[in-house]
Amino acid sequence: MPTPRDILQRYWNYPSFRPLQEEIITSVLAGQDTLALLPTGGGKSLCFQIPALALEGVTLVVSPLIALMKDQVRQLRERGIVAEAIYSGLRTSDIDRILDNAVYGNTKLLYLSPERLLTDLAKERIRRMPVSLIAVDEAHCISQWGYDFRPAYLRIAELREYHPKVPLIAVTATATPEVVTDIQDKLSFGKRRGVFQQSFARENLSYIVRHPPGKEDQLVKVLEGVSGSSIVYVRSRGLTKEIAHKLSRRGIPAAAYHAGLEPAEKDQRQADWIADKLRVIVATNAFGMGIDKPAVRTVIHYGPPDSPEAYFQEAGRGGRDGNPSYAVMLYHPSDGERLLRNWTYSYPPIPEIKRMYRALGSYLQLAVGGGQGETFEFDLTRFSQNFGFDIRQAYSGLKALEQSGYIILTEDLKQAAQLQFIVPKERLYDYQLKNPRVDKMVKSILRTTQGAFVNPVQLREGSLANFLQLSAEELRRILVKLRGDGVIDYTPERQGPQVVFVEERIDPDNLRIDEARYNFLKERARHRIDTMIAYCEGNERCRSQQLLRYFGEEDPPACGSCDVCRRQSVTPPTNRQVYDRVMELLQPRGEVTIGTVLRAFNGMTSHTVSGYLQALINEGIIVKDGDKLRHP
């Protein structure tokens, strides 16, 4: 059997493991139930992917994020590893084929969303699969103490009944002590267990909070003061485009990134940023999962997220290469008010949730007693307008129904069209002769895809329509006709969230929502928001200490590099330290603006820094040229 290090070098071309990875993998291969808490960028996925390749059989990976599943499957396939994913929105025939391949084929990793995990179809096949390992990604989702509780996760332990001797690994980047205990309990960890946790401390990451009168100007100052790649997190898709445009106009190459972009466009922007063709990605929280770029010098938040867990995970995407990096929060008091306002909307009264459930049945034209296991396309905006709901409350009400186990509201994702020829090649040729209008299209599909007679293939409708000089609507009409004529099996392109009915639709008066649990979740959410506001508004306690204490680390040391620590430092730098820092700033281009130098010493007054600089000028070490400093 190849060793874990052999597998690491063969498939990933990495010379060695990151901290704790090898110990975690050894624990899994020894058959222990294992919990791995690694910070963002710590390489959590490898902790179950490498054992999957070392063991005979299939590794089941449960993940709540469709986009992340798709991305990991794509990366594994690019490395020559057989991986598949099952999630809401797939056709039954595709699910059937993927499960069959896992039972009889050579699938190594099978990713499943939690709602698809324990359907009758999946359960029957999982019983027969040669399962070697169960992996639970984003394991904090199983805990009501966590910031992203998913009730479907509570049923994962049922898998262990089918394969009681198979070890389980749970991984997460963020968990408080209560969540760590809860994960092990809810996943039925055995007596032989391993819990591996790195300190959440990031010694090379400086946490900074700024309260500027104008965020845009402060954002530009940060980007001008710290060179290198950056992520700017904002709260809406519209803001990604607006800020990226403004940065570009100021000469800072930037692009927007959010879930609504075309997949090809997202891939291109991500690739350009990783290759340093773009300096800044302005993104919603859709950006970052599974993306490995070590040299990110700044992660800037244009306002706080609603939990320390989310902030720590996003900020932690900076400085994975171990070099000095900055996590900068731009905060205005109105940001705290927004978080509290959103919290109010996020927990509508229970009678209102029941009204939403009734409206949902009407919107989908679903009768009482029907819908169990069915998936429906869903337009949240239209639903809210049709029934007079505030869109934020409507979303939160549907999420409450999800947490009570009635429905699942999936991510807003774009799913490519799929097509498969279901007639023999000879009959297809006859059809082309009789219908010359479709001949060019059929030839184009066959030329640009492989295996369309055996399995469904993805179809880029926009590209195909452009090549054939048709509108998208004309192309779809032709494809629908081919489907009607029994020539193809065709699923049109879809975009937007979907609603899955976990249980059959019941009379809303019989809806059961655990009020005590609902209020508990509401209180926990308020605690996380209050903690986040205190982090942003407080100026007396080390930022790193605040985060580490939240995650259960007792008496962590002050970091010495956050804005609070710098402000409290009373020891002025020596002339040599100032000289070294100025030489470091001059190094990339041979010159640097005076403003950049002043910001590099932001724990000191401009007057004090100017005095040091004047001494260096007087000694002839540097030369002042207008607003710039350079070598003599």
Would you say 157 and 187 are in contact if contact means Cβ atoms under 8 Å apart?
yes
- Write the DSSP symbol of residue 31: T
| 459 and 386 assigned to the same domain | no
Does residue 541 sit within a domain?
A: no
d(CA 454, CA 434): 24
**CB neighbour list of residue 17: distance below 8 Å, 6 or more residues apart:** 4, 5, 8, 25, 43, 46
**Of the residues 331, 357, 374, the one at which a domain ends:** 331
pLDDT per residue as tens digits for the range 471-486: 888 898 999 999 999 9
> In whole angstroms, what separates CA 320 from the centre of its chain?
17
Does residue 354 sit within a domain?
A: yes
Banded pLDDT at 229 (limits 50, 70, 90): very high
Query: 198-212, 323-337, 584-598: which has the minimum mean pLDDT?
Result: 584-598
| 120 and 182 assigned to the same domain | yes
d(CA 632, CA 209): 36
End-to-end CA distance of the chain: 62
**CB neighbour list of residue 380: distance below 8 Å, 6 or more residues apart:** 391, 394, 395, 398, 497
> What's the angle, vertex CA 463, arms to CA 460 and CA 465, rounded to 5?
100
150 or 496: which carries more pLDDT confidence? Answer: 150
pLDDT per residue as tens digits for the range 249-290: 999 999 999 877 877 788 899 889 999 999 999 999 878 766
Q: Which residues of 29-44 are buried (b: 16+ CB within 10 A; e: fewer)?
A: beebbbbbbbbbbbbb
| 130 and 227 assigned to the same domain | no
Q: In 3-state terms, what secondary structure has residue 490?
A: strand
Name the percent of the chain lying above pLDDT 90.
Answer: 56
Number of domains in the chain: 5
Does residue 42 sit within a domain?
A: yes
d(CA 565, CA 561): 6
Banded pLDDT at 369 (limits 50, 70, 90): very high
The DSSP-derived string for 148-161 is S--GGGGGGGGHHH
In the sheet that 254-257 helps form, which strands lie side by side, from edge to edge?
205-210, 325-330, 296-301, 229-233, 280-283, 254-257
> In whole angstroms, what separates CA 131 from the centre of its chain?
27
Which of 385, 405, 409 lies closest to 396 in space, CA to CA? 409
| 157 and 19 assigned to the same domain | yes
**Of the residues 174, 197, 220, the one at which a domain ends:** 197
pLDDT per residue as tens digits for the range 284-295: 987 876 677 889
| 602 and 487 assigned to the same domain | no
| 71 and 105 assigned to the same domain | yes
pLDDT per residue as tens digits for the range 5-53: 999 999 999 999 988 999 999 999 999 999 999 877 678 999 999 999 9
SS (H, E, C) 117-148: HCCHHHHHHHHHCCEEEEEECCHHHHCCCCCC
Tokens of 14: 């990495």
d(CA 88, CA 402): 14
Averaged over 152-160, what is the pLDDT?
88
Half-sphere CA count of 290, side-chain side, radius 13 A: 18
Which of 125, 132, 157, 152 lies closest to 141 in space, CA to CA? 152
pLDDT per residue as tens digits for the range 512-539: 998 998 999 999 999 999 999 999 999 8
Residue 356 has pLDDT above 80, yes or no: yes
| 109 and 228 assigned to the same domain | no
Does residue 236 sit within a domain?
A: yes
Would you say 87 and 94 are in contact if contact means Cβ atoms under 8 Å apart?
no
Does residue 461 sit within a domain?
A: yes
pLDDT per residue as tens digits for the range 162-181: 999 999 999 998 889 999 99
Q: Is the dihedral of CA 357, 362, 364, 368 positive or negative?
A: positive
| 279 and 211 assigned to the same domain | yes
Q: Which residues of 113-133 are buried (b: 16+ CB within 10 A; e: fewer)?
A: bbbbbbeeebeebbeebebbb
The DSSP-derived string for 301-350 is ESS--SSHHHHHHHHTTS-TTSS-EEEEEE--HHHHHHHHHHHHHHS--H
Does residue 109 sit within a domain?
A: yes
**Of the residues 180, 197, 214, the one at which a domain ends:** 197
CATH number at residue 159: 3.40.50.300
| 159 and 181 assigned to the same domain | yes
> What's the angle, vertex CA 250, arms to CA 254 and CA 338, rounded to 5?
70
| 326 and 367 assigned to the same domain | no
Query: 27-41, 146-160, 179-193: which has the minimum mean pLDDT?
Result: 146-160
| 51 and 68 assigned to the same domain | yes
Distances (CA, A) of 38 to 31, 168, 296: 20, 17, 19
Does residue 35 sit within a domain?
A: yes
d(CA 420, CA 445): 10
Q: In 3-state terms, what secondary structure has residue 256?
A: strand
Banded pLDDT at 412 (limits 50, 70, 90): low
Tokens of 536: 């942003």
The mean predicted confidence, pLDDT, of the chain is 89
**pTM score, two decimals?**
0.75
Beta bridge partners of 239: none
The domain in which residue 362 lies consists of 339-413+497-525
Does residue 39 sit within a domain?
A: yes
| 162 and 274 assigned to the same domain | no
d(CA 108, CA 57): 7
Tokens of 463: 């590209």
